[in-house]
Chain A
Amino acid sequence: MIEIKHLKKSFGAHHVLRDVNLNIEDGKITSILGGSGSGKSTLIKCMMRLLDADGGEIIVRGKDITKVQNPFRLAAVRRHFGYLFQEGALFDSMTVGENVAFGLEYLTDIPKSRYASVVKEKLAMVGLKPEVAKLNPSELSGGMRKRVSLARVLAVSPQCILYDEPTTGLDPIMSDIISDLILEMKKKIGVTSVVITHDMHSAFKISDYIAFLYEGKIMLYGTPEDFRRTDNPYVRQFVDGSSHGPIQMKLMRD
């Protein structure tokens, strides 16, 4: 289990995370909802230690990873996680195959002679043909980029995958395919997943638990059913996707 306690992060005078408290259950999918700029990506970047938190704790396997400074121990901390970037962040100077195999060299003991078969296997897991390995990232559609990026994450067998808005920018069918893939990864390899999203359809479909991040704090945490039934006007407005409600009023006051 990953425990996030009183996490704080600011950028200058802008307090993005004020006091985040959240537990991520092993082997479950936890979605973090929130509007644009609410700090969702900041939260998982702090978990991955791509950003340093200003305060609080992130406890992974009993150790607070926010205190780790040694570069080698930091690399070991990151080893727990796989990170699916919003735009894929594929290395555009490499082919798809080289992208998928990239982490094998640094994070596994798999011999180079087996890289091609691992690439083929991981591409198949995300529903891509082996021929895709020869393409350049610039030749891929948005959905394919996300799938290749997921294959790159899967190749290094992380214990927890952090998905940064996996369905953003995709058509509804491709969004559903990506949602199915996230579910499949949980079923097939039992990986813990944290999904940053504002796609309610996807969140309800895939999540075991949902957390709603608002004004730097978790306003509501529960099952999808809890979110469907909640009377909380902020969450209600977000779930319904309405322009009328307290969130808009707050924005107008700002």
Chain B
Amino acid sequence: MHWLDQTGGAADMVRSVGFWLVHARFEFKQFVLQSITIGVDSFGVTALTSLFTGMVLALQAGNTINNIFGDPIFVGTIVSFSLIRELGPVLTGVVVAGRAGAAVTAHIGTMAVTEQLDALHTLGTNPTQYLIIPRMGAFLLTMPVLTVFSNIFGVIGGYLVAVYALEVPGEVYLNDITTFMGASDFMHGFIKSFIFAFMVAAVCCYKGISTRGGAEGVGKSTTGAVVTCIVLILVLDYFLTAILTAFGI
């Protein structure tokens, strides 16, 4: 079965990552370059989508949950809970997969169909050491950081709508966040963002190195990588929530 082959291939790649991580030098320069590329590439889109997500959450909450006088309540709580535990990691994962993940697959895929991956073997290194490990490291570093920024921009978006459109006092909005949010909520989102980062990196790199068939193949791999990442993020999110909640996180 095709998906089983792909899963096996990706698992084999991750095993190879483990081997070369231990047995070969770490390509630090590539890691830094990729971290900058992935982080910078995705920052603007992540900030923008999170800002508007925070804004729409505040708007919905303000128009749905009111006290007996008709004033909006718990806007800060709803916005921050939704963002920090769920939407921050999910949105960041989707945006990074669509922006940086697609670029990684297209780049490695193009190298595969133009024999550049073979050229790495002939010049004393290999694609895992030179391309995949630095990119996996970059995803693992930048996605949790981007998630933190996503949360911040989302909370700011919620604040703007709560204060200027719903006329909730700023202190109340912030107090709603600090009163009800705990360290475990941040940990919940952080663990998710880390796992999503690993998954996006593994899928996008594997789709890249397994690309065949010229320009058409690169297109197919890139589309396949983004779709697989988005679906897996949404599916994994449910199971991770269930597991983390069961552990009290």
Contact = CB atoms under 8 A, between A and B. Distances in A.
A92 B116 contact: yes
B118 A85 contact: yes
A107 B211 CA distance: 27
A82 B121 CA distance: 11
Contacts of A78: 121-122, 124
Contacts, number: 53
A210 interface: no
B122 A48 contact: yes
Interface string A90-102: 1111000000001
A75 B114 CA distance: 21
Contacts of B122: 48, 50, 78, 81-83, 103
A45 B117 CA distance: 13
A67 to B, nearest CB: 18
B123 interface: yes
A59 to B, nearest CB: 20
B107 A75 contact: no
Contacts of B114: 87, 89, 92
B184 interface: no
A71 B15 CA distance: 14
A89 B124 contact: no
Best-buried of B19, B23, B115 by chain A (most CB within 10 Å): B115
Contacts of A87: 114-115
Interface residues of B, number: 16
Contacts of B23: 71-72
B118 A156 contact: no
A37 to B, nearest CB: 16
Interface in B107-128: 107, 110-111, 114-116, 118-119, 121-126
B116 A103 contact: no
A90 B19 CA distance: 27
Contact of B116 (A82, A83, A89): A89
Interface string B142-171: 000000000000000000000000000000
A71 B29 CA distance: 23
Nearest to B129: A106
A156 B124 contact: yes
A87 B110 CA distance: 13
Contacts of A152: 123
Nearest to B116: A89
Contacts of A6: none
Best-buried of A89, A102, A105 by chain B (most CB within 10 Å): A89
A186 interface: no
A203 to B, nearest CB: 23
A134 B75 CA distance: 57
A16 to B, nearest CB: 17
A86 B114 CA distance: 9
Contacts of B19: 71
Contact of B124 (A45, A85, A103): A103
Contact of A89 (B115, B125, B126): B115
A83 to B, nearest CB: 4
B119 A85 contact: yes
A119 to B, nearest CB: 14
Interface in B15-62: 19, 23
A95 to B, nearest CB: 15
A89 B118 contact: yes
A89 B119 contact: yes
B171 to A, nearest CB: 51
Interface in B76-112: 107, 110-111
B57 to A, nearest CB: 40
Given A85-B118, A87-B115, A92-B116, A103 B107 contact: no
B201 to A, nearest CB: 19
A69 B28 CA distance: 27
Contacts of A48: 121-122
A154 to B, nearest CB: 12
A237 B139 CA distance: 56
A236 interface: no
Considering the complex of A and B, which 3 residue pairs feature the smallest CB-CB distances, nearest first?
A: A106-B124, A103-B123, A107-B124
Interface of A: 45, 48, 50, 71-72, 75, 78-79, 81-83, 85-87, 89-93, 102-103, 105-107, 152, 156
Interface of B: 19, 23, 107, 110-111, 114-116, 118-119, 121-126
11 contacts: A71-B126, A78-B121, A85-B119, A87-B115, A89-B115, A91-B116, A91-B119, A92-B114, A103-B122, A106-B125, A107-B123
